[in-house]
């Protein structure tokens, strides 16, 4: 009998298991994958994720790896160039884009060294129930052996398609279609340890320096264009780079692609019910959005932090478990919804309007405003706050149009 069983051992699951195990709870962590292993991601850790990794004592391990520290973003919106680093309330000034083979291994080891029992290569099949209450899981090992384990709470941290959500019947409370699609690949020889981003003609391109001297090069485009892009991935990828920046295209052509292209058009936006009798969801399993604002890992870490504390409240008797889990879901929704709406807006990939181009030119004048603008996609500055009429008037009054 465990206190908690966590299904899925990446950003959301390993950290939930680690935090519970550190508080002395008996935790089982299962994943069908084995670690280290890769998963789809452009790797960038925003300041919120860095703050939590620091608090959990895991940043030193990232620093000890060979992913370069990132201290600058170079963002081009059509012809407006902004350079800075996303504003952070915690004063974070550097970040990383570690390979998931590296980051997820640090997380899973963090859970195991805190005392969680880790079982890799184990497929979750179904939940066990006593009446309406979830009381455990039925799983299958790679060798085909089926086993059951029981716990006071079962956590689904099993990603976008979440078999746990399916098993408990967690309905979607918000449901939006995929708006974009994406392809990326790893290149050597690109140099410069900065993140760059280009938005032009309904295309986004971004580069992220990562481990082993590689850079991840990402192309995002409207969802409807996926079949046409897929018909000639390399040709369309290079043509897109050329269309947004001839300089970047030349650097990529001079470098070497080291791995195959990875792509997806399965990028829906949704919230699922995140709790019920004896179960909870965390990370992508409970709340998914387009990757254009790179919020997934920050949300998974924040969700793990909030869920572990709610489970502790419930299991320690501070509150009835159901009340604690209901508060967790409410807090998650309140915190995530404004950023979810912003992400959906960005994912529409609307061309830059003349009004927005003037605003960007004014933002560029101040480093503080530039960093706060970059904080919009980092999730550290909320859109209603940044686009408040007073703030926009202040920025425009100090901009080049006002002073000319």
Ligand X SMILES: Cc1cc2nc3c(=O)[nH]c(=O)nc-3n(C[C@H](O)[C@H](O)[C@H](O)COP(=O)(O)OP(=O)(O)OC[C@H]3O[C@@H](n4cnc5c(N)ncnc54)[C@H](O)[C@@H]3O)c2cc1C
Q: Which is nearer to ligand X, 343 or 371 (CB)?
A: 343
173/351 Cα distance (integer angstroms): 30
102/210 Cα distance (integer angstroms): 10
- Helix 11-22 vs helix 100-114: angle between axes, to the nearest 10 degrees? 20
Q: Which is nearer to ligand X, 209 or 399 (CB)?
A: 209
Applying CB under 6 A, which of residues 4, 5, 7, 378 lies at the interface with ligand X? Answer: 7
Asked if residue 41 binds ligand X (CB under 6 A), the reply is yes
Asked if residue 163 binds ligand X (CB under 6 A), the reply is yes
Name the H helices within 82-177. 100-114, 163-168
User: Min. distance of Cβ 171 from ligand X in angstroms?
Assistant: 19
183/230 Cα distance (integer angstroms): 9
Asked if residue 292 binds ligand X (CB under 6 A), the reply is no
Applying CB under 6 A, which of residues 2, 6, 8, 276 lies at the interface with ligand X? Answer: 8
Any idea how long the chain is?
A: 404
- Helix 367-378 vs helix 354-363: angle between axes, to the nearest 10 degrees? 120
Asked if residue 264 binds ligand X (CB under 6 A), the reply is yes
Asked if residue 294 binds ligand X (CB under 6 A), the reply is yes
Asked if residue 11 binds ligand X (CB under 6 A), the reply is yes
User: By CB under 6 A, which span of 187-195, 283-291, 313-321, 347-355 interacts with ligand X?
Assistant: 283-291
86/298 Cα distance (integer angstroms): 14
User: Min. distance of Cβ 327 from ligand X in angstroms?
Assistant: 20
User: Min. distance of Cβ 394 from ligand X in angstroms?
Assistant: 31
Asked if residue 86 binds ligand X (CB under 6 A), the reply is no
Asked if residue 159 binds ligand X (CB under 6 A), the reply is yes
Asked if residue 308 binds ligand X (CB under 6 A), the reply is no
Q: Which is nearer to ligand X, 7 or 114 (CB)?
A: 7
Q: How far apart are the first and last CA of the chain?
A: 72
Q: Which is nearer to ligand X, 139 or 248 (CB)?
A: 139
Residue 335 DSSP SS3: helix
Q: Report how many residues bind ligand X under the rule CB under 6 A.
A: 35
210/188 Cα distance (integer angstroms): 10
Can you name the residues that pair with 141 across neighbouring β-strands? 122
User: Min. distance of Cβ 282 from ligand X in angstroms?
Assistant: 7
CB burial string 289-314: b at 16+ within 10 A, e below: bbbbbbbbbbbbbbbbbbbbbbbbbb
User: Min. distance of Cβ 36 from ligand X in angstroms?
Assistant: 11
User: By CB under 6 A, which span of 18-26, 41-49, 147-155, 339-347 interacts with ligand X?
Assistant: 41-49
> From residue 194 to residue 223, what is the string marking binding to ligand X with x (rule CB under 6 A)?
------------------------------
Asked if 174 contacts 340 with a C-beta cutoff of 8 angstroms, the reply is: yes
User: Min. distance of Cβ 89 from ligand X in angstroms?
Assistant: 18
Number of neighbours of residue 16 by Cβ within 10 angstroms: 32
In the complex, residue closest to ligand X by CB: 296
Asked if 139 contacts 147 with a C-beta cutoff of 8 angstroms, the reply is: yes
Residue 109 DSSP SS3: helix
Asked if residue 296 binds ligand X (CB under 6 A), the reply is yes
Asked if 285 contacts 8 with a C-beta cutoff of 8 angstroms, the reply is: yes
56/387 Cα distance (integer angstroms): 33
Q: Which is nearer to ligand X, 162 or 370 (CB)?
A: 162
User: By CB under 6 A, which span of 6-14, 59-67, 144-152, 377-385 interacts with ligand X?
Assistant: 6-14
* Positions in 139-158 near ligand X (CB under 6 A): 157-158
Residues in contact with ligand X by CB under 6 A are 7-13, 30-33, 39-44, 123-124, 157-159, 163, 182, 264, 283-285, 291, 294-298, 300
């Amino acid at each position: 009998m465990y206190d908690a069983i966590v299904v899925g051992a990446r950003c959301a699951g390993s950290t939930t298991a680690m935090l519970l195990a550190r508080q002395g709870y008996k935790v089982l962590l299962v994943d069908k994958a084995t670690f280290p292993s890769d998963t789809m991601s452009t790797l960038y850790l925003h300041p919120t994720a860095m703050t939590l990794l620091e608090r959990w004592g895991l940043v030193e391990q990232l620093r000890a790896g060979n992913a370069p520290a990132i201290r600058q973003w170079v963002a081009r919106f059509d012809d407006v160039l902004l350079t800075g680093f996303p504003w952070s309330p915690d004063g974070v000034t550097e970040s990383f884009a570690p390979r998931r083979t590296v980051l997820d291994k640090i997380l899973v080891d963090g859970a195991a060294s805190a005392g969680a029992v880790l079982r890799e290569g184990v497929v979750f099949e179904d939940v066990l129930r006593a009446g309406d209450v979830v009381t455990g899981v039925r799983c299958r090992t790679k060798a085909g052996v089926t086993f059951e384990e029981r716990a006071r709470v079962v956590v689904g941290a099993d990603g976008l398609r979440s078999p746990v959500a399916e098993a408990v019947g967690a309905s979607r409370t918000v449901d939006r279609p995929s708006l974009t699609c994406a392809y990326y690949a790893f290149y050597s020889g690109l140099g410069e340890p900065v993140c760059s981003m280009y938005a032009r003609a309904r295309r986004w391109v971004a580069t992220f320096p990562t481990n082993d001297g590689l850079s991840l090069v990402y192309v995002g485009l409207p969802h409807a264009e996926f079949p046409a892009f897929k018909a000639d991935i390399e040709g369309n990828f290079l043509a897109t780079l050329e269309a947004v920046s001839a300089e970047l295209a030349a650097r990529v052509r001079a470098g070497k692609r080291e791995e195959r292209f990875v792509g997806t058009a399965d990028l829906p936006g949704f919230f699922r019910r995140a709790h019920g009798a004896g179960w909870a969801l965390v990370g992508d399993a409970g709340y998914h959005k387009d990757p254009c604002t790179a919020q997934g890992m920050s949300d998974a870490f924040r969700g793990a932090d909030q869920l572990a504390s709610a489970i502790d409240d419930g299991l320690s008797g501070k509150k009835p478990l159901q009340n604690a889990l209901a508060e967790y879901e409410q807090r998650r929704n309140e915190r995530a919804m404004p950023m979810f709406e912003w992400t959906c807006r960005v994912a529409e990939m609307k061309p830059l309007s003349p009004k927005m181009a003037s605003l960007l030119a004014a933002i560029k004048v101040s480093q503080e405003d530039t960093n706060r603008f970059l904080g919009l996609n980092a999730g550290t500055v909320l859109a209603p706050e940044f686009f408040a009429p007073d703030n926009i008037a202040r920025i425009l009054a100090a901009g080049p149009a006002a002073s000319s």
